[in-house]
Amino acid sequence: MKDIMMKLCGGLILIGALVLACSQVKKPHLRELSLKPQFNAEGYWQTENVLFKKNADNSISYYGTNSLYGPYLAARVAHMRQDFDDAAEYYKIVMQKDPGNARINRSVYLILSALGQIDNAAPYAQKEIDSGEKKSLAPLIIALNNFTDGKYEQARKQMSALNEPAYKTIINPLFNAWTYVGEKDEKNAIASINKIVDDPLLETMKLFHKALIYDYLGNKEKATECFAQIVQNHPKDVTYRVLEIITNFYVRNGDKEMAHKISGRYNDRGLLALLLKDIDKKIENGSINTEAVINSPRKGLAEAMFNIGTIFRASTGGTEYAQIYIAASSFLNPDYDLSQIALANVLEEIGLLKEANRYYAKIPADSGSYFIARLKMIENLNTLKDYQGAEDNLRLLLEDYPENTQLLTDLGTIMSNMNREKEAIKIFQKAVKSIKNVNSSSWPVFYSLAVSYDRDNQKAKAEENLLKALELSNRHPNVLNYLGYTWLTMDKNVDQAAEMILEAYKQYPYDGHIVDSLGWLFYRLGWYEKAVEYLEQASDMNPGNAVISDHLGDAYWFGGRKNEAVFQWKHALDLKEDAESVDKDAIRRKIEDAQVENKELTVQSPSLYRELRNM
Q: Report the SS3 class of residue 5.
A: strand
With CA atoms as reference, report the closest residue to 113 among 97, 96, 136.
136
Least confident of 94-98, 167-171, 352-356, 562-566: 94-98
Is residue 1 very low, low, confident or very high in pLDDT (cuts 50, 70, 90)?
very low
Distance CA 244, CA 253 (A): 14
Domain boundaries of the chain, sorted by first residue: 22-136, 140-186+194-198, 201-295, 297-374, 477-615
Is residue 125 very low, low, confident or very high in pLDDT (cuts 50, 70, 90)?
confident
Q: Are 387 and 423 in contact (CB under 8 A)?
A: no
Longest dimension (CA), the chain: 89
pLDDT digits (tens, 9 = 90+) for 393-429: 999 999 988 999 999 999 999 999 898 999 999 999 9
Distance CA 322, CA 305 (A): 9
Q: Are 569 and 553 in contact (CB under 8 A)?
A: yes
- What is the chain's percent helix, strand, coil content, to nearest 5? 70, 5, 30
With CA atoms as reference, report the closest residue to 74 among 51, 100, 55, 101.
51
Question: Phi and psi for 15 in degrees, rounded to 5?
Answer: -115, 155
With CA atoms as reference, report the closest residue to 183 among 156, 164, 160, 201.
156
Cross-strand bridge partners of residue 5: 15
Question: Phi and psi for 315 in degrees, rounded to 5?
Answer: -95, 150
Cα 433 to Cα 226, 415, 420, 426, distances in angstroms:
46, 18, 20, 11
Q: What is the pLDDT of residue 209?
A: 97
Q: Report the SS3 class of residue 286.
A: coil
Q: What does the pLDDT average to over 572-594? A: 91
Of the chain, the percentage scoring pLDDT greater than 70 comes to 81
Is residue 23 very low, low, confident or very high in pLDDT (cuts 50, 70, 90)?
very low
DSSP string, 21-84: HHHTSPP--TT---------TTSEEEETTEEEEE-TTS-EEEES-SSSHHHHHHHHHHHHTT-H
DSSP string, 238-258: --HHHHHHHHHHHHHTT-HHH
List strand residue ranges (DSSP E) for 249-396, in order. Answer: none
- According to DSSP, residue 581 is labeled G
Cα 534 to Cα 111, 140, 488, 547, distances in angstroms:
48, 56, 17, 14
Cα 607 to Cα 91, 495, 500, distances in angstroms:
70, 11, 15
Distance CA 363, CA 380 (A): 16
- CA angle 3/342/374 to nearest 5° reads 130
> Mean pLDDT score of the chain, rounded to an integer?
84
With CA atoms as reference, report the closest residue to 224 among 259, 191, 183.
259
Of the chain, the percentage scoring pLDDT greater than 90 comes to 55
Give 399's contacts (C-beta < 8 A, 6+ positions apart).
none
pLDDT digits (tens, 9 = 90+) for 225-279: 999 999 999 988 888 889 999 999 999 999 999 999 988 887 654 555 666 777 8
Helix segments in 435-493, DSSP class H: 443-455, 459-472, 477-489
pLDDT digits (tens, 9 = 90+) for 318-352: 777 888 899 899 899 988 888 888 888 888 887 77
Is residue 116 very low, low, confident or very high in pLDDT (cuts 50, 70, 90)?
confident
22-136: CATH number: 1.25.40.10
Which one is predicted more confidently, 22 or 102?
102
Which one is predicted more confidently, 101 or 513?
513
Q: Are 94 and 110 in contact (CB under 8 A)?
A: no
The total number of residues written for the chain in this structure:
615
Distance CA 581, CA 521 (A): 18
* Domain 297-374 CATH assignment equals 1.25.40.10: yes
Give 465's contacts (C-beta < 8 A, 6+ positions apart).
446, 447, 449, 450, 453
Q: What does the pLDDT average to over 349-375? A: 84
* Topology of domain 477-615, CATH: 1.25.40
Q: Report the SS3 class of residue 137.
A: coil
201-295: CATH number: 1.25.40
Q: Do domains 201-295 and 297-374 have the same CATH topology?
A: yes
Q: What is the pLDDT of residue 372?
A: 84
Q: What is the pLDDT of residue 305?
A: 94
